[in-house]
Structure 1
Amino acid sequence: MSDNPSSILSTSLVRHLTDKIYEKRKVGALELQKLVVDYINQNQMEQVEKIITILNGYVRALNPHTRKGGLLGLAAVAIALGKHSEKYSNVLLVPVLECLQDIDTRVRYYACEASYNIIKIARETALLQFSVLFDALCKLAADPDKNTRSGAELMERQLKDIAIHCNKFDVFEFVCLLRERIYAKNSFVRRYLISWVHDLQSQPNINLLQYLPEILDGLFQILTEPTPKIREACEVVLGQFLREIIQKPEAADLEHMVNVLIVHAQSNGQLMVVLYCFAKYNALMWLHEFLKLDGSRMKSFLPGYVLVTLPCLAYAESDSDILQVSRRINTGLMTLVSSEKSDNSSSFELSAMVEVLLPSLNDGEVSSKIAALKWIHYLYEAMSDKFFIYMEELFPCLLRLLSDPSDEVVALDVTVLSDLCTGKEGYNTTVEKFGLPAGSVRQLKAVSPYFVHIMKSLLDEFRRDCSFLHDRGTFIIRQLCSVLNVEDVFHTLAVLLNVEQDLDYVSRVVQILNSIFLTAPELFSLRNKLKDMPVHDESNDRNLFSSLYLCWAHQPVALLALCLIARKYKHAANIVHHFSELEVNADLLVEIDKLIQLIESPIFTSLRLHLLDPRYQADLAAVLYGLLMLLPQTEAFLILKRRLQCMPTTLNFGMHCSDQLKANEKSSLDQNAEACVFRELMEHFILIQQKHREYNTGKLKLKMREPF
């Protein structure tokens, strides 16, 4: 036989094998298969090798029909070799794999067919080319030709079968290949990758769980795939992985997966929002399961958990799945934190928690703000000594929340602030830093510096926004009174207002404070405490009545009401008498009208009964008749007139005798001291009213100078 390798193949065989008609090429392939079998039977393997070399040349030929014939020929040789093919698998497979990317559609299809036959025969040895095969199939999955894709699917199934049943299959190599391609956006490629993971993860001899952290991010990316079937297949794969983790949590690297899940739980795609919500929900479900499985391992990730949970708590009921799982996570996290109470060292960074909570306090939705406030409250209760050092960061945000439009947010914010103000931990601030006069500092020494900070910040906000004062002032102050010491609230506000320079502003605030003082149930204890409270106490820098008096002096009718509540009727009569020195305008008459209405309310029950008491009757009559003379004959005038007509002209009730004697027993020293204090208070009232007149006159002059 000639030394020319081509002479091994007959002219007829070559002509059939390279014919443009498929049936003729198939005939040539069968002839070639018989020829190779004969050489094998004769043990002439060198001849077989020469045939393989010839066919390698064919598959690289320029003529596409020649390439097709070469592919059929190589497949025929592999079939003929049978068990001997292991030795030749590389030389048979490599040229065929090159044709998988051929520009000719039919060549690619026949390359798939040839590859299928070769790897079916070669079995385990074909895995030596697994990387090339996997990469080629990944590209073919997105081939524009449907027939080529179908051929690739057959080839893929064959390769999977070998990988599943072969002990030599390199799982690590597969994961590396998967990791490189898992971020592909092409739907066909994604389907191809998911099918591999799905089929391999179900095999008991293949452990993909240990490599899950490396591909988890890519799998969650595929959850945003628009094609429903691919998305559902990915969900099935992730569900299977999660079941494995639940069964064997110790075998799973939870720590390396948590951060991936946190990223996807934050996803908010501008496009395809529904798909991103689907991925978000699955990520939250995983985080919830991790928390249930081993909370101790999740403690260090608590800031990340809170970061993704808080915004989700603001989801509408239409996204109930996300909302419900977020609530469960939030509850679980708080339970986890409760274990820190008995732990000397925190396993998570409080500084990171504060950084996470601040954005929700500043810009979050109402539900997120509420959750963040609950977290601050919870953390403070669990570890107040450690948490207090972050107050400088949190306090400004908490103060700003007092002006939040949501009542629920304000109520909870006040509760949190009250915790901080009543805490026993060392303060990072002092009253002196607020620049108050020494006398005011001395009066406030008994309250927390943070308490003063709250009140001062609130007053600053009231000054900045007048509408905020009128719309929200009453609600906020009542909330403060409901959780804080009422006396401290009003005393501190009064002391701070006493140093204010803007008289109009002080007058407006006092008007609101007085309304709260007279009507709010939260102030019941304060009203009772003021009754018969002495106005002179040398041992105490803080006298509640005097503090309020100095502030209430900006509103004459409010001051009168304060004296009536405190049963300082004689002084009240002096104040009414001084009303003649004031400008009796419509505003003053309206305030008197309101006071008359209040005198008929349960708040002033004791005052009405004192009209029957000889000790108070004369002074009270002076007050009420004075008001009657100030009023025009309106409805309020008639109400007060009828009330005074009910007052008896003479009283002979014996029960008052002993009381009168006791009253007379009051030492002249005390009486003189009290009288001195009342004189000072009256002088202060007159001075304040003089300042108001001057202030109003100055404003009027400025207005007159304004150009038309």
Structure 2
Amino acid sequence: AGLATMPGGGDLLSPHLLRSLGQKEYEKRKGAALEIEQAIKELRDAGQHERVRDVVHYVAHDLAASPHPNVRKGALHALAGVAIGLRDALPRFLPEILPPVLAAFCDPDCRVRYYACESLYNVAKVARSHTVAHFNDIFEALYKLSADTDLGVQNGFQLLDRLMKDIVAEAETFNLGAFMPLLRRRIFVANSYTRQFLIGWIAILDSVPDIDMLSHLPDFFDGLFHMLSDANKEIRQQAYAVLYDFLQESRQASALEYEPVVAILVQHCASRDRFSRLTALTWLHAFLSLGKPQLLPFCPAILGATLRSISHGEDEISDAAAQTDRALRALLQSSAGADFDVEAILATLVQHVRAEHVRTRVTAFEWIAALLRQRPAALLRHAEPLWAALLDALGDESEEVVFLNIEVIARLAAQR
């Protein structure tokens, strides 16, 4: 059972060949794989595809599942030999060849994992763009292997990863919609090596002209932002570089799904990590500077984010918050005829007129005064919660806050 016959008679997987595939010495296993490669070429040329399938089935289901590591190594050599022997006929056999190779990426023996990398490298070199149809399975296996601590496995993984990136970059088609759910599930990972792997793939996919990663930004944006606080400086820099590229692309984008992106940015504006907070403020400022009316519904959330950072102890962060604040005011001023949620903005301001820091309180009162000038009727309709905060602020320790407060009260009284 499990033996296929060559077009002339003798057994293709003879007992001698099977013993050679399970030998400890690499040269013997490799020699057996070369014999299989040659035999597969002959079967291919003779059109004996069913016999090839029998060989693949036996290697994949019997040898690859062996309890002996050397036999599992031999199975990986054999599957690579089959792929090389098949050449142009390989694509139809990928559904049978790939699963045992990918399963070996999780093998407890590090040498088996290394030979799995080597085997898939040889398969992919022959199949090239045909592997893209199986990309999710390959990516998942690479993802798991990216954190492997064995140096030999890491070297094999790096070579395979580069080859797969080249293949995807040159492929005529790539099913991004099918890949995004997988990336969304895997983006929140703590391991620095795996983060580096993910960043590399996001960058390479974004570099392909026919792949529109920007339209799927919400799927992986939050995960990328979390990488800005990685303990490894190199990971932080790589994540920032990819985010910077997406920010530049967003400036020219005709359509961008702002709501989930702004929500993520607002969340990271409260981050304890300095780099994450500063980057989030930079993104918000860039969005607001475009002056797009699509951002008006998010003004209350953005305002809250800037007010929480405008009195930050680090000048770079407080200055970035002030710039974002100015850009937000400019957007509202340029959108005089547009509707925006005055009640929600006012609710945010009421929270911050009682803030700990003077600069925050001053900025909040400046906002209230500006709203009174721009939208007096709308503000008056929702002014009831404001009065208690204004009366409390009359006893503020800051003369500037008291002065602004009196000005606001006077204008409110005049409007009434």
Scaled by the length of structure 1, what TM-score is found?
Answer: 0.56
Cα deviation per residue 1:98-139 (whole Å; 9 max; x = unaligned)?
A: 111111111111111111111221223322321111111101
Cα distance in 2, alignment partners of residues 183 and 46 from structure 1: 44
Given the alignment of the two structures, is residue 330 of structure 1 paired with residue 335 of structure 2, yes or no? no
Structure 1 position 337, deviation (Å) = 2.8
Structure 1 position 195, deviation (Å) = 0.3
Cα distance in 1, alignment partners of residues 287 and 44 from structure 2: 60
Which of the numbers 347, 363, 383 marks the counterpart of 2:355? Answer: 363
Q: Partner of 1:168 in structure 2?
A: 173
Cα distance in 2, alignment partners of residues 296 and 47 from structure 1: 65
Cα distance in 2, alignment partners of residues 424 and 141 from structure 1: 65
Letter in 2 for 1:300: P
Cα deviation per residue 1:545-596 (whole Å; 9 max; x = unaligned)?
A: xxxxxxxxxxxxxxxxxxxxxxxxxxxxxxxxxxxxxxxxxxxxxxxxxxxx
Letter in 1 for 2:31: V
Given the alignment of the two structures, is residue 399 of structure 1 paired with residue 391 of structure 2, yes or no? yes
Q: Partner of 2:8 in structure 1?
A: none
Q: Partner of 1:157 in structure 2?
A: 162
Q: Is the 8 A contact 1:311 1:364 kept in 2?
A: no
Q: Is the 8 A contact 1:131 1:177 kept in 2?
A: yes
Cα distance in 1, alignment partners of residues 368 and 3 from structure 2: 88
Q: Is the 8 A contact 2:195 2:227 kept in 1?
A: yes
Structure 1 position 334, deviation (Å) = 2.0
Q: Partner of 1:97 in structure 2?
A: 102
Q: Partner of 2:309 in structure 1?
A: 312
Aligned residues: 410
Q: Is the 8 A contact 2:117 2:160 kept in 1?
A: yes
Q: Partner of 1:381 in structure 2?
A: 373
Q: Partner of 2:295 in structure 1?
A: 298
Which of the numbers 218, 222, 234 marks the counterpart of 1:217? Answer: 222
Larger Rg, first or second structure (1 or 2):
1
Q: How does 1:20-419 map to 2 (within 5 A)?
A: 20-56=24-60, 57-248=62-253, 250-267=254-271, 269=272, 276-316=273-313, 319-339=314-334, 343=337, 347-419=339-411
Cα distance in 2, alignment partners of residues 258 and 164 from structure 1: 30
Higher relative contact order (CA 8 A, sep 6+): 2
Cα deviation per residue 1:578-635 (whole Å; 9 max; x = unaligned)?
A: xxxxxxxxxxxxxxxxxxxxxxxxxxxxxxxxxxxxxxxxxxxxxxxxxxxxxxxxxx
Q: How does 1:675-690 map to 2 (within 5 A)?
A: none
Q: How does 1:661-676 map to 2 (within 5 A)?
A: none
Letter in 1 for 2:346: V
Cα deviation per residue 1:631-690 (whole Å; 9 max; x = unaligned)?
A: xxxxxxxxxxxxxxxxxxxxxxxxxxxxxxxxxxxxxxxxxxxxxxxxxxxxxxxxxxxx
Structure 1 position 339, deviation (Å) = 4.2
Cα distance in 2, alignment partners of residues 191 and 31 from structure 1: 39
Scaled by the length of structure 2, what TM-score is found?
Answer: 0.93
Q: List gaps (5 residues or longer) in structure 2.
A: 6-10
Report SS of the residue matched to 2:31: helix
Cα distance in 1, alignment partners of residues 351 and 113 from structure 2: 56
Cα deviation per residue 1:24-65 (whole Å; 9 max; x = unaligned)?
A: 211221222222223333443333222222212111111111
Structure 1 position 214, deviation (Å) = 2.1
Q: Partner of 1:652 in structure 2?
A: none
Q: Is the 8 A contact 2:278 2:317 kept in 1?
A: yes
Report SS of the residue matched to 1:55: helix
Letter in 2 for 1:26: K
Structure 1 position 79, deviation (Å) = 0.7
Letter in 1 for 2:252: Q
Cα distance in 2, alignment partners of residues 196 and 322 from structure 1: 30
Q: Is the 8 A contact 2:37 2:85 kept in 1?
A: yes
- Alignment identity in percent? 34
Letter in 1 for 2:402: V
Structure 1 position 4, deviation (Å) = 4.6
Cα distance in 1, alignment partners of residues 164 and 178 from structure 2: 15
Q: How does 1:506-545 map to 2 (within 5 A)?
A: none
